[in-house]
Amino acid sequence: MTRLILNQRAVELDDARVPPDMPLLWALRDELGLTGTKFGCGVAACGACTVQIDGQPQRACVLPVAAAAGRQVRTIEGLGTPDKPHLLQRAWIHHQVPQCGYCQSGMLMAAEALLRSNRQPSDAAIDAAITNLCRCGTYPRVRAAIQTAARWLREGQPWA
Ligand code: FES
Ligand code: FES
């Protein structure tokens, strides 16, 4: 049995269905039904599968379930909801960031971790922190949305 905290709720995974060496991505998607986290490359290169483990972005396609045992796992489903979007999701909508959308949940999870550690990131800091790949080329809008979210954090949120 692997126990972890998923989006602030305790979860138990049966070894018979979810062996400890199974990549966390498949446990999330196939066992727990959280399909917001995507499979891209499977080799830790693209970032489509990015989740947060104890607040840090990690690539779930290469992280065994056992490595998440007893830890806080946060996925895109734990970031915001349609009724209550996260500040970054509001910024994403404001800048109309996504094209196909496939990479975007991973982008957001990496961006949220960045903003928690740096409320005034330069474009260079964003590029260094967000190593996720986007085949649609949304990088300029990702940067702009992170800058906007950071400004809302510092100066107040226009909808509040
Ligand atoms: S699917 Fe995990 S990094 Fe590409
Ligand atoms: S929006 Fe299509 S891959 Fe990034």
pLDDT tens across 30-77, in order? 999 999 999 999 999 999 999 999 999 999 999 999 999 999 999 999
Instruction: List every span in the chain annotated with CATH 3.10.20.30.
Output: 2-77
Burial 10-35 (b: 16+ CB within 10 A, else e): ebebeeeebeeebbbbbbbbeebebe
Q: Phi, psi at residue 127, to the nearest 5°?
A: -60, -35
| Residues sharing a CB contact under 8 Å with residue 116, sequence separation 6 or more, in sequence order | 55
Residues of the chain with pLDDT under 70: 160
Give yes or no for residue 136 CB within 6 A of ligand 2.
yes
Total-model pTM: 0.96
Give yes or no for residue 45 CB within 6 A of ligand 1.
yes
CA of 104 to the centre of ligand 1 (A): 12
pLDDT of residue 104: 98
pLDDT of residue 160: 67
pLDDT of residue 159: 74
The ligand 1 atom at the shortest distance from the C-alpha of residue 62 is: 2
**Which one of 1.20.950.20, 3.10.20.30, 2.70.98.50, 2.102.10.10 gives the CATH number of domain 2-77?**
3.10.20.30
- Tell me which amino acid residue 69 is: A
Give yes or no for residue 26 CB within 6 A of ligand 2.
no
**Residue 135 near residue 78 (C-beta atoms within 8 A):** no
